[in-house]
Amino acid sequence: MPVLIAPNKLDLFTAIPAKLVGSSLEAELTKIRTSRSKGLLDSGIGMDDDMDEDRETLGGAGEGNFKFAMMEEYNVPIEVAGGNVTGAEGANVDKWWAWIGNHL
């Protein structure tokens, strides 16, 4: 199932660019994956083969930085496309509609 991350309000001066939103989410997922893996190791849970299975669900065997591209291995393509629903110059949701059109 494809996933679209659609940051809104990119017409505002203070908006974070879509690419930075994506990299920030990847960094946060890396932190979650790291802390979860460390927590499982510290608790002694999953000291057998089940640990590898738990780490696989976090993408890329739970090691290194998480990247959305890792999810393509599981047939879950993730794309970050920014836009805005309203704004001084009107809506800019073309990338969102294009993504929807490509995945219907």
Q: Which residues neighbour 88 within 8 Å (Cβ) at sequence distance 6 or greater? A: 11
For domain 3-103, the CATH architecture is 3-Layer(aba) Sandwich (3.40)
User: In the chain, what are the domain boundaries?
Assistant: 3-103
Give the Cα separation of 27 and 25 in Å (integer): 5
- Average pLDDT value for residue range 4-24: 93
What confidence score (pLDDT) does residue 59 get? 61
pLDDT tens-digit map of 34-72: 887 665 555 555 555 554 554 455 565 556 889 999 998
